[in-house]
Amino acid sequence: MKPPKRLQPLIEAGLIDTVERQLMSGKEAKVYVVRCAGETRCAKVYKEATQRSFRQAVDYTENRKVKNSRQARAISKGTRYGRQAQEAAWQSAEVDALYRLAAAGVRVPRPVNFCDGVLLMELIVDAAGNAAPRLNDVALTPQEACTYHQLLLREVVRMLLAGTVHGDLSEFNILLGDNGPVIIDLPQAVDAAGNNHAARMLLRDVVNLRNFFGRFAPALLATDYGNEIWDLYQRGLLTLDATLTGKFARSKAAVDLQAVIREIDDARAEEAARRLRLAATVPAA
């Protein structure tokens, strides 16, 4: 196919040999299958901020570091330079997260290079060597659902121990590769210790997994792994081999009604976003 304009600089730099086809177009980027040095990889081309349906909510960018104080001031003032710096930081956040999580053994695509707003990375394939489907597009047996649910919970734990919460984890950004599920789409990932919303985001990620896999294995709908995982993390007891039961004894202290209302509002907003995401994500022909 004719190379998109955004990929032309990488072709000229020798980072990409040929562009084979567009793989998908999502809320934040377009992804292409490319050939690089004899290997098939994918190139994620980030959309401009005005073209994305996923907004850089302050909840996600809280406590993110920028290169220098000048950038920090510009971002806080909302200047043109500040918006450019914020956009660059949003894109590089995924690159940083991929390298960090890959080093920690998390099941994510292996990053290869990042240049001019384009992320080159490993292409996740299925058993037949084709581009792996999203989990949302796969029908599972009850046993498969339980197996993948447990595997992904361990990946959530592994990410948390690496100091990261995905923040938007669902069946829409998990690929089912030949060796099992692989987690993708990490520009909104947050610092588990430095972001005040990390606990809420982790709980939402785990609930999303429970609700999806619960469609195929209804017994999972009665579990509460999110609160259990976060409680162990807060108490310094979370390890990769920690026994997770899916049960959590809630405190009998007075209920914070405002917090409950916020959780309900967040759940409604998340459901609306999921519907928008499903409608906006158009696979390439």
Nearest to 138 by CA among 252, 215, 223: 215
What the block records as the tokens of 83 is 């918006």
Band of pLDDT at residue 141, cut at 50, 70 and 90: very high
Which pLDDT does position 128 carry in this prediction? 94
Count of Cβ atoms closer than 10 Å to residue 12 Cβ: 10
Task: Identify the residue with better confidence: 238 or 274.
Answer: 238
- Domain of 227, CATH number, reads 1.10.510
Q: Would you put residue 150 in left (φ > 0), alpha (ψ -120 to 50) or beta?
A: alpha
Residue 147, pLDDT above cutoff 60:
yes
pLDDT at 162: 97
Check 116, 126, 185, 256 and give the catalytic one.
185
Backbone angles phi, psi at 247, to 5 degrees: -120, 145
The distance in angstroms from the start CA to the end CA of the chain is 13
Average pLDDT over residues 181-195: 92
For 194, the domain range is 5-283
Local confidence band at 218 (pLDDT 50, 70, 90 cut-offs): very high
Side-chain-side CA neighbours of residue 43 (13 Å): 28
Write down the catalytic residue from 137, 168, 191, 224: 168
Structure confidence at residue 138 as a pLDDT band (50, 70, 90): very high
User: Considering Cα of 38, then 28, then 130, then 173, what sign does the dihedral take?
Assistant: positive
How far is residue 141's CA from residue 56's CA, in Å, rounded to a whole number?
Answer: 36
Q: Is the pLDDT at 193 greater than 60, yes or no?
A: yes
Between residues 188 and 145, which one has the greater pLDDT? 145
Tokens of 38: 């004899």
Give the span between the Cα atoms of 86 and 89, in whole angstroms: 5
Burial label for 139, CB within 10 Å (0-12, 13-18, 19+), is exposed
pLDDT for 67 beyond 90:
no
User: Nearest 5 degrees, angle CA 39-CA 41-CA 44?
Assistant: 155
Reading the block at residue 143, the tokens are 């046993």
Which residue would you say has higher pLDDT here, 280 or 13?
Answer: 13
pLDDT at 260: 65
Chain segment 196-216, per-residue pLDDT in tens: 999 999 999 999 999 999 999
Q: Does residue 177 carry a pLDDT above 80?
A: yes
What is the predicted pLDDT for the residue at 74?
47
Instruction: Count the domains in the chain.
Output: 1
Q: Is the pLDDT of residue 280 over 90?
A: no
Active site residue 168: yes
Residue 153 to residue 47: CA distance in whole angstroms:
30
- Mean confidence (pLDDT) of the chain: 85
